[in-house]
Amino acid sequence: MEIRTVGIVGAGQMGNGIAHVFALAGFDVLMTDISQEALDAAMALIDHNMDRQISRGKISETDKAKALGRIKTTLKLAELGKTDLVIEAATERETVKQAIFEDLLPHLKPETILTSNTSSISITRLASRTDRPEKFMGFHFMNPVPVMQLVELIRGIATDDPTYQSMVKVVEKLGKTAASAEDFPAFIVNRILMPMINEAVYTLYEGVGSVKSIDQSLKLGANHPMGPLELADFIGLDTCLAIMNVLHEGLADTKYRPCPLLTKYVEAGWLGRKTERGFYDYRGETPVPTR
């Protein structure tokens, strides 16, 4: 089946970026969220991010106008049932994702492909709660979606080959690169990235280095564009903790135990950039380390 229409569940950090790239690639997009405010904020951000692409010569004013014309929003999840492909980009909690798919199932066309942008949760388990496990896949975009070139494609145990091949073609049409991953906790990118971030938090927790010295060391010593604590703030400390818990529980290896300091920051509601405090305080003109 050729994919022409795409439904996106969630208008947050990932959802609006996914809508952005699909609309620019010529797909008709229908995006939903639980509040009109979230949808309005997402559309404003897409508009702003496309302006940035125009200023850098990546797209034209005409490209932007056509793309924005392809994006529609709705508060009714059921309306996504008429699309060819659904991408769930809600919060990284399995119960939330399961509830979304259960609510959506009665409204889907028989041929609609279901996908999740989950960064760590079992695709096989999510698929088993639907009526079409063979048409269910992990479709994991990197953040920020308009900039990052990689998309992880994760097949569940029941995913059939036509579904996989359809998603490979979609990724090609987006102008991105697909990496195939097996359905094990956190897949490829986060299986490697999150333990590094967690180890950086342990390094801070044990007093080996300060926030500034840890981030400087990785930026200047390993040529990373962002330090691991800066990156954790960008991703969201709650998301980092959720992925470490999935790794720890799913693989039963103590090397994946989340650092107690990471848990403490999340308990404090210091989740990084989105709450203006994490390993850095973003409330002033320049970020200041909080430890």
Q: Give the burial class of 156: count Cβ atoms within 10 A of its Cβ; 0-12 exposed, 13-18 middle, 19 or more buried.
A: buried
HSE toward the beta carbon, residue 149, CA cutoff 13 A: 1
Active site residue 285: no
| Residue tagged active-site, from 117, 119, 120, 122 | 119
What's the one-letter identity of residue 20? H
- Is residue 10 annotated as involved in ligand binding? yes
Among candidate residues 17, 10, 6, 13, the one with its CA nearest the CA of residue 33: 10
Contacts of 48 (CB under 8 A, 6+ apart): none
Which residue do the tokens 């405090």 mark?
Answer: 277
| Residue tagged active-site, from 49, 88, 117, 152 | 152
Task: Cite the beta strand spans of the chain per DSSP E.
Answer: 5-9, 28-32, 71-74, 85-88, 113-116, 136-141, 150-155, 177-181, 280-281, 288-289
End-to-end CA distance of the chain: 53
Contact of 282 with 273, CB cutoff 8 Å: yes
- Is residue 278 annotated as involved in ligand binding? no
- Is residue 11 annotated as involved in ligand binding? yes
- Is residue 12 annotated as involved in ligand binding? yes
Active site residue 119: yes
- Is residue 274 annotated as involved in ligand binding? yes
Pairing mode, if any, of strands 150-155 and 136-141?
Answer: antiparallel
| Residue tagged active-site, from 16, 117, 190, 198 | 190
| Residue tagged active-site, from 88, 140, 198, 230 | 140
Backbone angles phi, psi at 25, to 5 degrees: -85, 0
What's the one-letter identity of residue 258? P
Active site residue 152: yes
- Is residue 207 annotated as involved in ligand binding? no
Residue ranges at the known binding site for NAD(+): 10-15, 33, 92, 97, 119, 143, 274
Could you list the residues known to form a binding site, using ranges: 10-15, 33, 92, 97, 119, 143, 274
Q: Catalogue the active-site residues.
A: 119, 140, 152, 190
